[in-house]
Amino acid sequence: MTNAIEIKNLTKNYKDFSLDNVSLTLPSGCIMGLIGENGAGKSTTIRLILNTVSRDGGEIKLFGKDNREDLSLAKEDIGVVPDEIGLPESLSAKHVGKIMSNVFKNWDAGAYAGYLEKLAIPEKRKFKELSRGMKMKLGIAIAMSHHPKLLLLDEPTSGLDPVVRDEVVDMFCDFTRDESHSILISSHIVSDLEKLCDYVAFLHKGKLILCEEKDRLKEEYRIVRGSKEEISGIPESAIIGRKVTPYGVEAIVHKNAVPAGAETGAVDIEQLFVFMVRKED
């Protein structure tokens, strides 16, 4: 099966920011989480995938084809939730449904109505009268109502309350039960990504500092707690990052380098990201 997204050596230069040589692959049927601080390049990467900004170097393939060829056709198979849902303020979800049914060839009015009901989005209320969370939910309903094969989601869970967030995360999980469906999702809420993703990619200041299977990362690394002396015995090459606290030192270490008898714990993705970024800085 072809990959949903293949990015090789992607480069984009702005005056004050550069996306530097990013390469990643999202296999079909998988979910990849794009994690990074504000301004790390997550939205730029998604815009480059959609070719709404032109790249300065590298290659992007969507479903095996260069994203500059027949992108309109490819977009029929892509559902996008941008960080801001730019719908006209005077229109309602009902109007939006009518518009989208004439935009997407595969628009499913029944599925759209189902999502509106499931996500409790009022059909007749004007877009400007919806809360940020509601707007985001409407964006998600639009992105999923034309049976896309790939979802590109830029901070889709921001502004949602925990209960709805959980519901939305479950919807995304259901979406990838079909082997031909994939998701690239960026979020600050790493706990959502941890629950959802098969792969995680860390972006920091425009550079991809890690792209790996989530389960493998959790298997390969351990968090070690101990005194400065105990941690200093671990080879530097095996340490991903460390944090000095009043109670000692915490370090994320490759499992093979964990000293015998050391106090260790499972590492979570958020810790791994924070420690890696600190090391990079």
Partner 1 sequence: MKGLLIKDLYVAWKMCWSYLLLEIIFCLMVALGGTSPFMLLAASYLLSMVPMTILATDERVKWHIYADTLPVTRAQSVSAKFILSLILGAVSAAAIFVSGFIATVNPMLAGEGHTMGEVYATLLGCPVVIALASLCMPFIYRIGFEKGRLAFMVMCMIAGGGFGFIVSTGLDLLELIKLPSTVIIAAVLGVSAIVFAASWALSALLYKTREF
Residues binding partner 1 (CB under 8 A): 47, 50, 52-54, 72-73, 75-76, 78, 80, 82, 84-91, 95, 98-105, 152
CB of 73 to partner 1, least distance (A): 7
> Quick check: 234 and 251 in contact, CB under 8 A?
yes
- In angstroms, the CA 236 to CA 247 distance is 21
Could you tell me where the beta strands, DSSP code E, fall in 14-101?
Answer: 18-27, 31-36, 57-62, 65-66, 78-81
- Nearer to partner 1 by Cβ, of 148 and 226: the residue is 148
- Nearer to partner 1 by Cβ, of 103 and 173: the residue is 103
CB of 98 to partner 1, least distance (A): 6
- Nearer to partner 1 by Cβ, of 149 and 204: the residue is 149
Indicate if the alpha-carbon torsion angle 34, 210, 281, 238 is positive or negative: positive
Choose among 149, 141, 203: nearest CA to 168: 141
Beta bridge partners of 32: 184, 199
- Nearer to partner 1 by Cβ, of 48 and 239: the residue is 48
> Cα-atom radius of gyration of the chain, to the nearest Å?
21
Count of CB atoms situated within 10 Å of the CB of 59? 14
- Nearer to partner 1 by Cβ, of 47 and 205: the residue is 47
Q: What is the chain's percent helix, strand, coil content, to nearest 5? A: 35, 30, 35
CB of 139 to partner 1, least distance (A): 8
- Nearer to partner 1 by Cβ, of 146 and 214: the residue is 146
> Quick check: 257 and 235 in contact, CB under 8 A?
yes
- Nearer to partner 1 by Cβ, of 61 and 75: the residue is 75
- In angstroms, the CA 26 to CA 140 distance is 20
Could you tell me where the beta strands, DSSP code E, fall in 63-175?
Answer: 65-66, 78-81, 150-154
CB of 50 to partner 1, least distance (A): 6
CB of 48 to partner 1, least distance (A): 11
> Quick check: 226 and 261 in contact, CB under 8 A?
no
CB of 46 to partner 1, least distance (A): 9
CB of 215 to partner 1, least distance (A): 31
